[in-house]
Chain A
Amino acid sequence: MREVAILGTGMTRFGIWEKKTNTELFAEAALDAIAASGLEPRDMQALFFGNCLGDFEEGQLHMAPFAHSAIGLPVSAPAQRFESACATATVAIRQAALLVAAGVYDVVLAGGTEKANSMGTPLATRTFAMACHAQTETPTGLTFPGVFAMAAHTYSSKYNIPLPELKRDMAEVAVKNHFHGAKNPKAQFQKEITAEMVLGGFMVADPLQLLDCCPFSDGAAAVVITDMKRAKELVAKPVAIAGTGQASGGPLAKQKDLTVVRARVETSRAAFAQAGLTPADVDVIELHDCFTIAEILALEAIGFYGFGEAHGAAARGETRLGGKGPVVNPSGGLKAKGHPIGATGAAQIVEIVEQLREEAGARQVQGAKVGYVDTLGGDFGTVCNIILRRG
């Protein structure tokens, strides 16, 4: 297997893009990524394209070939759509990396686009809930905030942490990620918030309040993937894909204890084993903070903290820029940067690549050499992790 590298990256600002189409958003990100790679669209041998809900957003199914033509890829380059709910783009990038490693392709464009905000909250909430089990979960009226709300209640009960105390710790996750997002010109929310604002928001799904939740977002992100030998000829600072993992869950009733995501435990174990690294080697993390409690669960399952021990990490300042631990979500995370689900994983990769190239400006984690990407799809149905390191 060949060593695989990320060449150029590109992303739109995340937020509200009511007047732009999905393929327009993707073209902006993709053409920037290709240009930053010192390549042309004709050099791409395949497009691994992430989009979840194009049929609901703009009545567009089978979007991949239209994204392909929008950026002038050669007819010979297959365009393939990926859908793994919120982990869509991470899965697309991992598959691209695997096929480049295997020598099937030399240069692949991978990423995704979404216009979730443009659907409006009722339809967006309905379509996101389609990623729950349609026979036994979705008809209960379960929502994604609801899933993580149930996890938060279990966390409080299982570890005997009074709910008001846990909610204050969760609020500090939002405060920290907005603090980071305020330094990111691509973030949807570039504004700091306080714990009091989080705890004063309206209730979405008990115990999650408005600012415990990431927004619905529009946006796109893309990266170009090639083998390390070619990457060193093309760009000054290639970033290596050191290890990847992906695993699958099932209905919530099969998963039972929602505070321990077994698919994530398996995924991170595989990624670390392939990279020959441990959590102690990681300097910077972009992980799936769709809700404040979600960041806490991810930190524990990946192994950065023991189970039941990550809830106070943000409150203690450990995961903030300048903190003692690995910095978590310097981009602002899904919480502040935004969460266009088909593009999210690619944007996480974009942030880690910028960090490892020391091009992250005010968000720079000094001396970052190893970065970790964690993306979750559905109600813990898919977890995909990618470990990156300086090439």
Chain B
Amino acid sequence: MEAVLSFEAYQEGLAAGRLLGLYCRDCGKTTAIPQAVCQECGSRALETRELEPKGILQTFTVVRVPPEGMEPPYIVAMAELSCGAWVTGNVVGMDPDKAGMDLIGKEVAVGARVVKGDKYAMGDLKVLAFTVV
């Protein structure tokens, strides 16, 4: 049984400016990582939904010692979307050296940016980009 929302379709959604997630008809929760089963309850009764691209920033870090091929400093963060799903991404549009604890709790708009894949990655990938509103 194929997944309702494939990773490829999720990526194509991001490329078209749409944040796709999964609504579970069994538990009523929405999740934002494309998987074959609901990440909250394991059900397969999922339907793809376009999610409102905004949320509240929950935590962050500024990476200063990066993996090979990445240019520091940059901000990695987690946000809770308005639908309740959590997502991981980068905070963009601000100076990483100005990032402090006051970021937590800030409202963010959620978009996407393209990260060029290195020789180990499955290719260029769209990752979530958070902008403080």
Interface bits A169-180 vs B (CB < 8 Å: 1, else 0): 000000000000
- Of A133, A135, A150, which is within 8 A of B78 by CB? A150
User: Quick one: given A141-B74, A146-B76, A203-B64, are A153 and B104 in contact (CB under 8 Å)?
Assistant: yes
Q: Does B43 make an interface contact (CB < 8 A)? A: no
Contacting residue for A135 out of B7, B39, B69, CB 8 A: B7
> Given A126-B120, A146-B76, A252-B78 in contact, is the A136-B88 Cβ separation under 8 Å?
yes
- Contact across chains for B125 and A256 when beta carbons are under 8 A apart: no
Chain B residue nearest in CB terms to A251: B33
B132 within 8 A of A: no
The answer, yes or no, to whether B60 is at the interface (CB within 8 Å) is: yes
A76 at the interface (CB under 8 A from B): no
Residue contact B61 to A153, C-beta cutoff 8 Å: yes
| Contacting residues of chain B (73-92) with chain A, CB-CB under 8 angstroms | 74, 76-78, 80, 85-90
Decide if A142 touches B63 in the complex (CB within 8 Å): yes
A sample of 16 inter-chain contacts (CB < 8 A) reads A122-B69, A126-B67, A129-B67, A136-B33, A137-B88, A139-B125, A139-B127, A141-B70, A141-B115, A142-B76, A145-B61, A146-B61, A150-B77, A153-B59, A154-B59, A252-B86
7 closest pairs, A vs B, by CB?
Answer: A149-B61, A126-B67, A122-B68, A126-B68, A206-B62, A139-B115, A150-B59
**Given A126-B120, A134-B121: A253 in contact with B87 (beta carbons within 8 A):** yes
Q: How large is the interface on B (under 10, 10 to 19, 20 to 34, 35 or more residues)?
A: 35 or more
- A206 in complex: contacting residue of B61, B66, B85, B128, CB < 8 Å: B61
Once the chains bind, are A126 and B69 in contact (CB under 8 Å)? yes
Please state if B63 and A146 are interface contacts (CB–CB under 8 Å): yes
Partner of A150, one of B32, B76, B101: B76
Contact A204-B64, Cβ < 8 Å, known A126-B120, A140-B76, A253-B78: yes
CB of A234 closer than 8 Å to a CB of B: no
B127 touches A136 (CB 8 A): yes
Q: Residue of B at shortest CB range from A208?
A: B61
Interface check A69, CB cutoff 8 A: no
Give Cα A154–Cα B78 distance, bound, in whole angstroms: 10
A123 at the interface (CB under 8 A from B): yes
Question: Are A139 and B86 CB-contacts (below 8 A) given A150-B77, A205-B65, A253-B32?
Answer: no
Interface string of A110-147 (1 = CB under 8 A from B): 00000000000111011001100111111111110110
Contact A134 B122 (CB under 8 A): yes
In the bound complex, CA of A46 to CA of B71 (Å): 45
Name the distance in Å between A58's Cβ and chain B's nearest Cβ. 17
Known pairs A142-B76, A205-B61; A252 contacts B101 (CB<8 A): no
Q: Which of A126, A140, A202, A253 contacts B86 (CB 8 A)?
A: A253
Interface check B48, CB cutoff 8 A: no
**In the assembled complex, which residues on chain B have CB atoms less than 8 Å from the CB atom of A343?**
none
A251 near B76 with CB under 8 A, answer: no
Bound-state Cα–Cα, A141 to B116, Å: 11
- Specify the chain A residue showing the minimal Cβ separation from B105: A157
CB contacts (< 8 Å) of B61 on chain A: these are 145-146, 149-150, 153, 205-208
Judged by a CB distance under 8 angstroms, whether A163 is at the interface is yes
Tell me if A250 is interfacial: C-beta within 8 Å of chain B. Answer: yes
Given A121-B65, A134-B122, A254-B33 in contact, is the A142-B88 Cβ separation under 8 Å?
yes
Residues on the A chain within 8 Å of B58, using CB: 154, 256
Contact B101 A140 (CB under 8 A): no
CB distance from A134 to the nearest CB of B (A): 7
B91-111 to A contact mask, C-beta < 8 Å, 1/0: 000000001010011000000
Expressed in whole angstroms, the minimum distance between the Cβ of A187 and any Cβ of chain B is 23
Cα–Cα, bound, A254→B29 (Å): 12
- Is A27 in contact with chain B by the CB < 8 A criterion? no
A123 CA / B99 CA spacing, docked (Å): 27
Residue of chain B at shortest CB distance from A142: B76
Indicate whether A141 sits within 8 Å of B101 (C-beta atoms), given known contacts A146-B61, A153-B61, A252-B88: no
Identify the interface centre among B64, B67, B68, B120: most chain A CB within 10 Å of its CB. Answer: B67
CA distance A327 to B89 in the complex (A): 38
Q: Which of B31, B63, B74 has the most CB of A within 10 A?
A: B63
Contact at B66–A143, with CB atoms within 8 Å? yes
Is A157 a contact partner of B101 (Cβ separation < 8 A)?
yes
Out of A125, A202, A203, name the residue touching B67 (CB < 8 Å): A125
Complex CA gap A254/B22 in Å reads: 13
Please indicate the chain B residues that have their CB under 8 angstroms from the CB of A151 in the complex: 59
Chain B residue with minimal CB distance to A138? B121
Chain B residues contacting A137 (CB-CB under 8 Å) are: 88
Instruction: From the candidates A140, A153, A206, A251, name the one contacting B89 in the complex (CB within 8 A).
Output: A140
